[in-house]
Amino acid sequence: RLVAEMKWDGVAPSNYTLSMLVKLFSRGKRLDQAFSIVDELSAEFGLRPNVHVYTCLIQGCFKNQLPVKALSLLDMMLANGVHPDERAYGVLVRGHLNMGDLDKAVEIVESAYQGQSPAGVDPACLREVMTKLRKRSSEAAAALWSKVQTPQPQPKQWTSLRHHSLSPGCGVPGRGLMLHNMKPFGPTLETQE
């Protein structure tokens, strides 16, 4: 009914609309309708489901005891160029933990930390996986821990920035000196007339 009213009023749905509809249908154990509405509205309005829509669908799959379908959504996301974020991976990991599949949860954690810009999982989720894995095997927990450790970014070297901005030929004469003296670039309110 809501979608019909939106169409009647000429209001185009957004990914937020899709996410809310998926949540409503999933909670009502009408997951097939959730998938149908996403397909229908995406085609009709040229929407491309984003990570939030996919995450809601994944959550709905777990609420309806469909872990295989949830995992297939991860593949679909990647195939459609949608990159899972920390929340999406967390929903997948927790869903598999709740289903009693620690091995699959570990596999998903490992994949969350791979690639050029890994999303990872939230610390509480990682702690939950590590605790359960440690109970099974401390060696396996140590191996996972070594895989998820990411190098911490180094702090910026202000001396090199200052050196660069004061070096000759930096692009704009005088700007390096202004940066060194902490004056703003360009005109300020005091100098404009």
Q: What is the pLDDT of residue 82?
A: 95
Catalogue the long-range contacts made by 100-109 (C-beta closer than 8 Å, 24 or more residues apart): 101/67, 102/129, 102/132, 102/133, 102/136, 104/67, 104/71, 105/129, 105/132, 106/133, 106/140, 106/144, 108/74, 109/144, 109/148
Residue for token pair 């300020």: 188
Distance CA 178, CA 166 (A): 9
Is the pLDDT at 149 greater than 90, yes or no? Answer: no
Angle of CA points 98, 99, 101, to nearest 5° = 105
- 29-85 confidence digits (pLDDT tens): 999 999 999 999 999 889 999 999 999 999 999 999 999 999 999 999 999 999 999
Mean per-residue pLDDT, 148-166? 51
Residue 18 phi, psi dihedral angles, 5° rounding? -60, -45
Distance CA 166, CA 88 (A): 45
Distance CA 153, CA 150 (A): 9
Higher per-residue confidence, 25 vs 169: 25
Q: What is the pLDDT of residue 151?
A: 55
Say what percent of the chain tops pLDDT 70: 77
